[in-house]
Amino acid sequence: MDLSSNDLTEFPVQVKDCPKLKILRLIQNKIQTIPAEFFKSENMQDNLEELNINSNPLKELSPLVKHLQKLIVLGISYTEIEVLPSEIIALEKLT
């Protein structure tokens, strides 16, 4: 699902209800936070392989990212994230 360049100011948490979502691209929006319920969603934990939030004013990445065990690609370029959570090491498939 590509929701890039839509001037989104809030993370579309409803995507957590998409049971087969593998790719979520939210590039070049105005998203500042990712709700915890997104990371805790069984659908996301079981299927999401790419989360691309490049070019958003996101300030931090939640330690809950560790739950996205299928994640291969995590795009966080051009965000305001300065430090990654140590829990990111649990994502063994991340390239």
pLDDT tens-digit map of 36-57: 999 999 999 999 999 999 999 9
Q: What is the pLDDT of residues 14-37, one digit of tens each?
A: 999 999 999 999 999 999 999 999
Q: What pLDDT score does 95 carry?
A: 86
Asked if 43 and 70 touch (Cβ cutoff 8 Å), the reply is: no
